[in-house]
Structure 1
């Protein structure tokens, strides 16, 4: 999820704070300390240190009821550099060069080859899973090693989904939207079932994310 070596260079508590704020979009110290099982003052000290280093920023959230605004912490732009990117400029330049040399379909063929190689690389590992939930959980872990950052969620009513908050190919997907379908097809082939991809916009409820819902585990079909 983080750039190689990052975890070894920083305190584990800082890593957990950054992960939790990446998922939530912003939290007060009281909620952060509750989620991470630490003391209020210990968590406040960690957040203030990360603010001084430029990785977090504070903002005040007006209360809906009478009272002083609540102090919130969220990731600063500097923190985004922690999450890996797939050599974005170089990747897009190479795809454009392939288009110029070999025609309009060349970039898509290269991306198809990329996802096909990932599929064949991951298939033997996923075949060891004993259930679809375990298989999907393994897939999420493999995607994290490629630079994605997400969390698996499962409940009987809504089924299983992977919530992803970062993808190193985001810029490539923006330039070549059909690559999204190529990746989705790869995931469906690995899981041997339908996967529904939903873009969840950011807002007061949290940051933007992508949900991958495993359709055969109880999620509703799109309307």
Structure 2
């Protein structure tokens, strides 16, 4: 997140939050980088928790879900986990559709989508480059561990994003604009 969003969420002054972020970066708990803005303006400075924070925020959900999916697989067959999660992605699509429906253009819908995903625990942003066109770069996905165990779910999620935005979406994993590995969703702006 950027300092203005952090200060609003924490109900602190901009400078107070900035001082904490600088100190946490020095201690190795935060990583900072600049993200180009879609519109005009200086790049935005974003802060992200580093792996040093992992022990402070244990993740019990991923292991639980993987254990449950393994049980479903053992009881009902190899395709059962993906069939079960198909329903999840349908519900996600309906939720995201309500979020993006106010957008007038594809760019506005995608921006609303990315903003809502940030609130849901993803770390992503929209950007345009002449080489790739309009993309959403995602640096953290809460279901990453689940996707590693069940890669077929990646296709389900990609189709859900296409249905939400009403546009073809190609998903690739590569180095993003910040020089680190990320998932890039290329959004077709052609009808």
Quick check: TM above 0.5?
Answer: yes
Q: 1:212 aligns with which of 173, 185, 190?
A: 185
Gaps of 5+ in 2: 32-47
Q: How does 1:97-176 map onto structure 2 within 5 Å? A: 97-155=71-129, 158-176=132-150
With CA pairs under 8 Å and 6+ residues apart, which has the higher RCO, 1 or 2? 1
Aligned-residue CA RMSD (Å): 3.6
Residues 130 and 79 (structure 1), Cα distance of their counterparts in 2 relative to 1, 3 Å cut: same
After superposition, give the CA deviation of every residue in 1:15-48 in whole Å (9 maximum; x if it has no partner).
Answer: 77xxxxxxxxxxxxxxxxxxxxxxxxx7xx9545
The TM-score, its normalising length taken from structure 2, stands at 0.72
For each residue in 1:126-164, what CA deviation from the matched residue of structure 2 results, as whole angstroms up to 9, or x when unmatched? Answer: 222111101111111222122100111025664211111
TM-score normalised by length of structure 1: 0.63
Shifted more, 114-123 versus 153-162: the winner is 153-162
Highest CA radius of gyration, 1 or 2?
A: 1
Which structure 1 segments of 5+ residues have no match?
17-41, 58-73, 219-223
Distance apart, 1:198 and its partner CA: 1.4
Where 2:95 maps in the other structure, the secondary structure is helix
SS of 2:171 mapped into structure 1: strand
Q: Is the 8 A contact 1:150 1:165 kept in 2?
A: yes
Aligned-partner Cα distance in 1 for 2:140–2:146: 13
Taking a change above 3 Å as real, the CA distance of residues 129 and 117 of structure 1, as seen in their structure-2 partners, is: same
Counterpart residue number, 2:26: 51
Aligned residues: 170
Structure 1 window deviating more from structure 2 (193-202 vs 182-191): it is 193-202
Question: What is the DSSP-based 3-state SS (H/G/I as helix, E as strand, rest coil) of the residue aligned with 1:173?
Answer: helix
Aligned equivalent of 2:156: 182
Q: How does 1:29-68 map to 2 (within 5 A)?
A: 47-52=22-27, 54-56=28-30
Structure 1 residue 84 displacement after superposition: 8.7
Distance 1:212 1:80 in 2: 26
Question: Which is worse superposed, 79-88 or 208-217?
Answer: 79-88
2:39: which partner in 1? none
Greater alpha carbon shift after TM alignment, 82-91 vs 150-159:
82-91
